[in-house]
Amino acid sequence: MTLSVNDVKQIAELAYIKVSEDEAKATLVQLSDIFNLIETMQTVDTSQIEPMSHAQDVVQRLREDVVTESDQRELFQSVAPQIEEGLYLVPKVIE
């Protein structure tokens, strides 16, 4: 598999990370090496194997439907970059 600088930029766009042309080029070299390493996975036939998502074969525990949380807005917003009237402010959302 070969990646292009354009691929790197597209992935960065999906990941919402701004990359310059130079960064994309440098990243391409490293990613290509890493993907070569990853490609070694393809040497093993896994057609009969079930994917393993979790380390333990257990099922989801369920929480009872009760309200346990109270208002902590002031505390939580003490670390917010920008707030007003209890709202988190962001550059204008255009729909």
Partner 1 sequence: MFNDSLKQLSKRLADREISSVELTTEFLKRIKQLNPQYNAFITVDDEKALAQARIADQKIATDKAIPLTGIPVAQKDIFCAKGWLTTCGSKMLSNFVSPYDACVIERFNQAGAVNIGKTNMDEFAMGSSNETSFYGPVRNPWDVAAVPGGSSGGSACAVAARMAPVATGTDTGGSIRQPAALCGISGIKPTYGTVSRYGMIAFASSLDQGGPMAKSAEDLALMLNVMTGFDARDSTSLQRETEDYMRNLEKPLSGLRIGLPKEYFAEGMSSDVEKAVEQALGEYRKLGAETLEVSLANSSLSIPVYYVLAPAEASSNLSRFDGVRYGHRAKAYENLGDMYRKSRAEGFGAEVKRRILIGTYVLSHGYYDAYYIKAQKLRRLIAEDFKRAFTHCDVIMGPTAPTVAFDIGEKSSDPIQMYLSDIYTSGASLAGLPGMSIPIGFGEKNRPVGLHIVGNYFAEARMLNVAHQYQLVTDWHQQAPDL
Partner 2 sequence: MQWEIVIGLEVHTQLSTQSKIFSGASIAYGAMPNTQACAVDLALPGVLPVLNRGAVEHAIKLGLAVGAKINSPSIFARKNYFYPDLPKGYQISQYELPIVEGGNICIQVGETEKYIRLTRAHLEEDAGKSLHEDFHGMSGIDLNRAGTPLLEIVSEPDMRSSAEAVAYAKTLHALVRWIGICDGNMQEGSFRCDANVSVRPRGVEKFGTRCEIKNLNSFRFLEKAIDFEVDRQIDILEDGGTIRQETRLYDANKDETRTMRSKEDANDYRYFPDPDLLPVEISPAWIDQLKSVLPELPQARRARYISEYDLSAYDASVLTSSREIADYFEAVAKQLPAQAKLCANWIMGEISARLNKEDMDITACPVPPEKLAALLARIHDGTVSGKAAKTVFECMWSGELDQDVDAIIETKGLKQISDNSAIEKLVDEVLAANEQQVADYRNGKEKAFNALVGQVMKATKGQANPTQVNAILKKKLS
**54 touching partner 2, by CB under 8 A:** yes
Buried b vs exposed e over 65-95: b needs ≥16 C-beta within 10 Å?
A: eeeeeeeeeeeeeeeeeeeeeeeeeeeeeee
Of these, 48, 63, 78, 81, which contacts partner 2 (CB under 8 A)? Answer: 63
Q: Report in angstroms how near the CB of residue 2 gets to partner 1 at its nearest.
A: 13
The one-letter amino acid at 33: D
Q: Determine the distance from the C-alpha atom of residue 59 to the mean position of all C-alpha atoms in its chain, rounded to a whole number.
A: 24
87 touches, from partner 1, partner 2, none (C-beta below 5 to 8 Å by class): partner 2
**Interface with partner 2 (CB under 8 A):** 14, 16, 53-54, 58-69, 71-73, 76-77, 82, 84-93, 95
